[in-house]
Amino acid sequence: MPTIKRSTYHKRSNWWDTELKMMQIVLKQKISFSKERNPEARQHLYEDFKSFRNKYIRMIRKKRLKKWREFIEEIDTNNTWGNTHKLIRQKLNPQSHTLPIIEDFPYEDHPKIIENIVNSMFPTHRSSQEYIGHDTSLTTPEHEYNISKEYIESLISKTSSRKAPGDDNITYNMLKASKGKISEPLAKIFSKCLNIGYFPKQWKKASLIIFPKANKSDYHLCQNYRPISLLPSIGKLLEKIVQSEIQNFLISNSKINPQQHGFIPNKSTITALHSIKAKILTEKRNKLTSLIAIDFTGAFDSADWNIILNNMHQLQIPQHLIQMMHSYFQRRTITMKHNTIEYSKNLSKGCPQGSPLSPLLWNILINKLLDTFSSPNASIYAYADDLTVICSATNIEDLHVALTDSLNFINSFSNDNQLKINFSKTKILNFHKLSFPHPISIDSNTIEIVNNVKVLGVIFENHHIKSKINFTSHIKSVVNKSIKIKNLVFNYCKNTFGIDSRKRINLYKGLIRPVMTYASEIWIDQINKKQKSQLESMQHQLLRNSIMAFKTVSKACALSLTKITSLETFIEIKKIKFYHKNHLQRIDTENFDMYIKELIRAKISENFENTNHNFKSFFVNSIIPKHVRTDFYTTQFLTGHGPFGDYLSRMRLSNNLTCTCDNNSIQNVSHLLIDCHHYHAFKTNINLIASDLPSFVNEKENFKKFKKLCKYIYDHLRSIESSNSASL
């Protein structure tokens, strides 16, 4: 009978080493010795075994902790976005690596399940319109394309190495490594494709992967998965060129409706939210106002190709680019693979999610709705497939009519263009307290009226004051998210454990502050002092952790050491930049960037003036040198908040102010660093010469020695405290 040969290799953790192996061997010997028959000897040997076992366990814990610290702290690299950042990201967005829709069923059912998934997400479709551009004769561009090698190299350089490859398994890293050799042939191929209006068949093959959507109850349903099309990397380079050509034409000829804010140069979610907020506040002052947030079912996957091509004709896009898009849509396929099973299908509609062209094609499709939408009592705003309609009227009956007419118009457009409104996710928010005479219904679907609604990531609510919008729920949501991230940061970054101060500050700037201040240009002037204080308090806790400071350290000291402005100042500067960039409120200055730098510098200097006397004693000219990067020990001496007699006395933790060196001098930072004779020998050993406090921080080499001195003094003070506690 055949047997399975087991490997003799046992995988060990990275903390396992030769020392532990030798201790393990000794421990096994001691176990056998402890089985001695002589009772007295057995007892002695057993006690010896227990003692060594405990030592062995302590050593394992020590080794594990050491390796964990090395993993978290990454002392050998300056990369902020290393292991700590990855661990926090994984906790915030846990990824599911299983597909219950497939894996919960027997293997023999998998082929049918995969076929059902593909057919459900990409059903066969007959267009409601005929493509009007039937002329198949080649239309050459006005100016023949002659793409340069340098342009292709720049395109390749800008690609993200993290993007997954398509069916050909050619990654962007491969293209970057070989761009010097492949750029010229690719430039010739792309030029020829554009000149003859042909998109190669090999680059139309998409590989389908699906991801479970968050917070869904039943993962056996297709609608609870998000489809992503992985396309060939080289094909996506050509798509970017086509996308750039079409978009440049549309922008330069003002063909895109100004109310479309999605994937348009110089527009963003913030410009969309600003327009929505301004409209609400304008209408709310004198009229009854309501907002409709419209959601489409599978918007990008439902886009009709013939309608897109016809819209391109109506927008007068050059014929050779329309020919290129016609070729792009022909004979597209999608393949889903799972283990050894795969299923392929020809596509007949949809903008593949993952394609550089998809957002632009959707904008072309929806542009007609924005152009034709006209109502004296309604305004429409779009960010890609997110539609928001603001309706207003002088009385509730007229407002009801405006809402119904707007929804009917959009629903009619959707039906004509093979789109489907998701009525269960479409909501109405009233900025008034009156009730409608009867429900608002479209095609027998009643639209829900809610107390708050999320628009482009910001939660809107009605405010009882007519000149305001309520963002209380949004601020609560922001604070809750920030608390979740803060708790994770505190878990991995302790005062004497974790990444250094510089990495912590960068982590705050890059990971946490963007969450706290998203769209703050919109809501900052609408929230109250208490809500602003909540956000400032959250920042202070995180900055205090960044410099590894005591809880009693002031906001001014934390801000000065991290060289960060208050959150209110940061948002104010964001708002100034936004208003200036979008010509809403221009700053009269020749050099705007210098104006912002001077403003930040002034705020930091103003904040420095609010620090304590001890802090100012180190930085007499109010400038903190770049080399001053604090740790747990130096922060205590710079802020004056540490195990010092004067601090403990102020905190009512000790009655003794004096230093043990003479039992007369007040034990403060200045005394410990300069006058206390306990530490003269150590300063001599490390060759540290400093006659005043600024001397410790002004020079880089002196600051390195200052760090060692701070740790030495701290350890000495703690040892004195421990001995005093033991004597009691």
Average pLDDT over residues 581-609: 91
Task: Say whether pLDDT at 244 is over 80.
Answer: yes
Distance from C-alpha of 322 to C-alpha of 301, rounded to nearest angstrom = 20
Q: How far from chain centre, in Å, is Cα 125?
A: 37
pLDDT at 34: 73
Q: How far apart are alpha carbons 111 and 683 in whole angstroms?
A: 75
392 three-state secondary structure:
strand
Residue 569 contacts residue 588 (beta carbons within 8 Å)? no
Q: Report how far residue 424's alpha carbon sits from residue 642's, in angstroms, rounded to the nearest whole number.
A: 57
Mean pLDDT of the chain: 92
Query: Is residue 354 very low, low, confident or very high in pLDDT (cuts 50, 70, 90)?
Result: confident
The model's confidence at residue 375, banded by pLDDT at 50, 70 and 90, is confident
Q: Which residues pair with 386 in a beta bridge?
A: 383
User: What is the CA angle 64-65-69, rounded to 5?
Assistant: 120
So what's the pLDDT on residue 362? Answer: 95
Q: Are 561 and 630 in contact (CB under 8 A)?
A: yes
Question: pLDDT-based confidence at 40, cuts 50/70/90?
Answer: confident
What residues contact 649, with CB distance under 8 A and at least 6 apart?
Answer: 655, 656, 657
Residue 7, pLDDT score = 58
Whether residue 23 has pLDDT greater than 60: yes
Structure confidence by residue, pLDDT tens digits, 417-450: 999 999 999 999 999 999 999 999 999 999 999 9
CA dihedral 394, 396, 400, 403 (to 10 degrees): 50
Neighbours of 495 (CB within 10 A): 16
Q: Within 13 Å, how many C-alpha atoms sit on residue 629's CB side?
A: 13
**Whole-number Å distance between alpha carbons of 409 and 412:** 5
Examine the pLDDT at 728 and tell me if it is beyond 60.
Answer: no
CA neighbor of 639 nearest in space, from 561, 698, 710: 561
DSSP string covering 263-303 = T-TT--HHHHHHHHHHHHHHHHTTSEEEEEEE-BSSTGGG-
**What is the reported pLDDT for 6?**
59
Provide the pLDDT for residue 621. 82
Residue 302 tokens read as 């439902």
Q: Which fold has domain 261-297+351-470?
A: Alpha-Beta Plaits (3.30.70)
Looking at residue 138, what is its pLDDT?
61
> What is the average per-residue pLDDT within 170-189?
95
Q: Which helix (H) or strand (E) holds 474?
A: helix 472-492
Tokens representing 654 are 């000790």
Question: Cα–Cα distance between 639 and 612 in angstroms, integer?
Answer: 8
Q: Does pLDDT of 134 surpass 60?
A: no
Band of pLDDT at residue 1, cut at 50, 70 and 90: very low
Distance of CA 596 to the CA centre of its chain: 25
Instruction: Please determine, for residue 154, whether its predicted confidence score (pLDDT) is greater than 60.
Output: yes
Amino acid code (one letter) for 537: S
pLDDT tens sequence across 280-339: 999 999 999 999 999 998 888 889 999 999 999 999 999 999 999 999 999 999 999 998
Residue 8 has pLDDT above 70, yes or no: no
Beta bridge partners of 497: 494
- Report the chain's C-alpha Rg in angstroms: 33
The domain limits of the chain are 18-71, 110-257+305-348, 261-297+351-470, 472-611, 615-728
What tokens were used for 398?
A: 């007229």
CA distances in angstroms from 287 to 6, 124, 402, 467, 666, listed in the order given: 79, 47, 13, 12, 69
Q: What gap in Å lies between CA 621 and CA 656, rounded to an integer? A: 33
Burial class (CB in 10 A: 0-12, 13-18, 19+), 322: buried
CA 628, CA 209: separation in Å to the nearest integer?
Answer: 48
- Which tokens sit at 377? 């009592």
Q: Are strands 205-212 and 341-346 parallel, antiparallel or unpaired?
A: unpaired
Alpha helices in 222-268 (DSSP H): 233-252
Q: Greatest CA separation found in the chain?
A: 105
Give the pLDDT score at 37.
Answer: 76
Q: What's the pLDDT tens digit per position in 546-566?
A: 999 999 999 999 999 999 999
The pLDDT value given to residue 11: 61
Q: How many CB atoms lie within 10 A of CB 587?
A: 12
The full 3-state SS of 541-573, as one line of letters, equals: HHHHHHCCCCCCCCHHHHHHHHCCCCHHHHHHH
Residue with tokens 């960037």: 593
The pLDDT of 598-619, averaged and rounded, is 94
pLDDT in tens, 194-226: 999 999 999 999 999 999 988 888 999 998 999
Three-state SS for 590?
coil
